[in-house]
Amino acid sequence: MDYLAGLNPEQKAAVLQIKGPVMIIAGAGSGKTRVITYRVAHLIRSRVDSFNILVLTFTNKAAREMRERINHICGPEAKNIWMGTFHSVFAKLLRVEADKIGYPSNFTIYDTDDSKSVLRAILKEMNLDDKLYAVNFVLNRISAAKNNLISWQAYQKDEQIQSEDHANRRDLLGKVYETYAQRCYRAGAMDFDDLLFKTNELLRDHPDVTNKYQHKFKYIMVDEYQDTNRSQYMIVKRLAAVNENICVVGDDAQSIYAFRGANIQNILNFEKDYPDLKVFKLEQNYRSTQNIVNVANSIISNNKEQLKKNVFSEKEAGDRIKIMRAFSDNEEGKMVADTIMQDRSTNGMKWHDFAILYRTNAQSRSMEEALRKLNIPYKIYGGLSFYQRKEIKDLIAYFRLTFNPNDEEALKRVINYPKRGIGDTTVDRIIVAADKNNITPFEVVLQPNYYIEKAPASLSAFAAMIQSFQVLAKNQSAYEAALYIAQHSGLLKDLYVDKSIEGVNRYENIQELLNGIKEFSEREDIEEKGLDVFMQDIALLTNDDKDKNKDADTVSLMTIHSSKGLEFPQVFVVGLEENLFPSQMSLNSRSDLEEERRLFYVAVTRAERKLSISYATSRFKFGTLINCEPSRFLDEIDAKYLELDFSAKPQQSSSFFDDERNAWSRKDTNTKTDAYKPKPATTPPPVKTTSILAKAHVVSNDFKISDTSNLQVGMQVEHERFGFGKVINLEGNKPDVKATIFFKEIGQKQLLLKFAKLSIINGIE
């Protein structure tokens, strides 16, 4: 029991409570991972069979770290735990049970690029407008449906959804969803959302399978429960229904993923599902100084919808939080870069001790320019990963085709790479023949002369090559099979002969991939070492696993969403301006605004020792310099924790700048200043939902239908349903003038003015 000695009383109580439903509310930096780890170790020490423990996380990195710690305490038993991300664990389960829902056990897992490729082909075949049916929009729509457990059949029958699509002139979205689902099924492929959607389908339609895993997983733990969506919630609820030994860990104050389906109500209402719930609150922050913790508390206290807790720190008070004002976004970048250079020199810090966090990716430009001018090394976190590079995806496509010849996307990617005389016309004929005969494209390739007139001989040679790879892969290690495929596909030779800088880099990247496969082949902690197992591992990588240079000594630049789970000695949170942070899109409802505030809370709590927050009084937006006002969130911070740095002077005079500067010139920072006071706020009305997939626009309190007889291109308007927009075209004669308006929330629409009911909110920009 020595592993319990280092826990504080609340952590220890949570670890020892192993029976029944448990919720652990873990504040930022409160030792959450340690508690989960020791709780699993304690289960094993309490003679719970490790095969009966299920631990679900949101990153492979978290699962790896926990398993290593458990192994240190419990030894080899740690290998038997079903532990990993939702997607990796249930992909493993589906490999065993896939035949029950009509899939092969060697199904391919499509990444986002694969899914987009399938959708592009479908949209082209259906001759749909690529503006109305933009690939990203369609994919997000299908993803949202799956995360809410809406099948394509249910999508087409749902009156609200169909009405919504019709209003947006996207009546064929349901048909696109149907075709996409059927195309994936034919290819023996699942996308990431399918891994959970199909698991729900399996558990719903096969009681014998549900019963099997309910009795197998007698103890269930879920990390980051505040980030779960409906699909994940239903899987966990079903599996825990028999034993109810379920423990969820999370922090509602860090729920920031509603845009990708996360539902904060899962954690807020957990007690309704389990009335006998025992709740433990981890409130001591071991990461940050007292001042940083106090600032975070003052921010999040403004949210109405939350689980109350009192986070505290016993570390030193530390520096006050610096508020920096810049005249422009470029000047903001310069201030941040200068501070990094000075603090690194003064305090003997490393470059990787610093992080710059922003609300949107576009904000990185001014930061990058300033860092480059001072020769400060930096890395954009979440950029192009190693496994997204073209040459890597090409070789992996050969691997995929080897294990699943029905994989249409892999086939199209490599059938003529390296070039073997199979042009786009031939590929199109293959796809048409497959559709016509209701078979897979590879089946056409196996008998090209039967299905295609004047088929090139290289098709048969290609099919024979893939079949030889299949035979070899069954009997060789992952590395031997991978090297053989790289060589005999011609890919390795094609890259080797290209002596350009890019060609050499691509060849080296392939060698790096092969080195990684060799390392995998020699691992002692896994039993199955085939290339197919390696393929599943990389298909399920999360962003934290894909970064090959994460230990480099560079300043980290990233969006706040990407920073969750990370920590840095010194953090800069930039761009604290109204309509940027909080974003303009979040000002329509209290729930959206509260999520923005939680995002700010996450940003602040990434800092260990020093925190700086900056904003600019002007910023370029769509090529136009606009005046900015400080974020309302800044006014929510108690001024006694702040240090004001207004050394940057505006280069022009204006009443706004003067008023702001005068307000902040007060010497007594122990009194709360009104410098950041936003415009008077009113409580927004409840949000009305048009369907489970989308929210309706919440109209402004001063909304009033305007006379549109003199409406002009460039004017800003508001519509009761479609929200805020800009007039981009007018056509026709009175009284039948039609206005084309680009609405920020739903895109472009054409309205007949005499029926449109618009409120003109200002003149031409």
Could you say which DSSP state residue 618 is in? E
Annotated active-site residue in 10, 12, 17, 33: 33
Question: Is 223 a catalytic site residue?
Answer: yes
Please indicate if the annotation marks 28 as binding a ligand: yes
Please indicate if the annotation marks 33 as binding a ligand: yes
Dihedral angle, C-alpha 133, 137, 143, 148, nearest 10 °? -90
Helix (H, G, I), strand (E, B) or coil at 716: strand
- How far is residue 540's CA from residue 641's CA, in Å, rounded to a whole number? 43
Annotated active-site residue in 39, 359, 506, 606: 606
The values of phi and psi at residue 264, to 5°, are -60, -25
Could you tell me which residues are beta bridge partners of residue 613?
Answer: 323, 573
Please indicate if the annotation marks 32 as binding a ligand: yes
The values of phi and psi at residue 310, to 5°, are -120, 85
Question: Is 65 a catalytic site residue?
Answer: no
- How far is residue 81's CA from residue 54's CA, in Å, rounded to a whole number? 6
Question: Is 329 a catalytic site residue?
Answer: no
Annotated active-site residue in 32, 309, 320, 619: 32
- Could you identify the residue written with the tokens 């709360």? 672
Annotated active-site residue in 11, 108, 254, 289: 254
Question: Is 33 a catalytic site residue?
Answer: yes
Question: Is 32 a catalytic site residue?
Answer: yes
Dihedral angle, C-alpha 652, 658, 663, 664, nearest 10 °? 20
- Could you identify the residue written with the tokens 């056509």? 731
β 738-743/747-752 pair status:
antiparallel
Please indicate if the annotation marks 421 as binding a ligand: no
Question: Is 596 a catalytic site residue?
Answer: no
The values of phi and psi at residue 763, to 5°, are -80, -160
Q: How many CA atoms lie within 13 A of 179 on its CB side?
A: 17
Q: What is the DSSP string of 523-562?
A: -SS-S---HHHHHHHHHT--HHHH-TTTTSS-EEEEEHHH
Please indicate if the annotation marks 181 as binding a ligand: no
- How far is residue 564's CA from residue 256's CA, in Å, rounded to a whole number? 9
- Could you identify the residue written with the tokens 């020792």? 609
Q: What is the DSSP string of 730-754?
A: EES-TTS-EEEEEETTTEEEEEEHH
Please indicate if the annotation marks 30 as binding a ligand: yes
Helix (H), strand (E) at residue 222: strand 219-222
Q: What is the DSSP string of 277-337?
A: -EEEEE-B-SSS-HHHHHHHHHHHTT-SSS-----B--S---PPEEEEEESSHHHHHHHHH
Q: Which residues are catalytic?
A: 32-33, 223-224, 254, 606
Give the residue numbers of the binding site for ATP: 26-33
Give the residue numbers of the binding site: 26-33
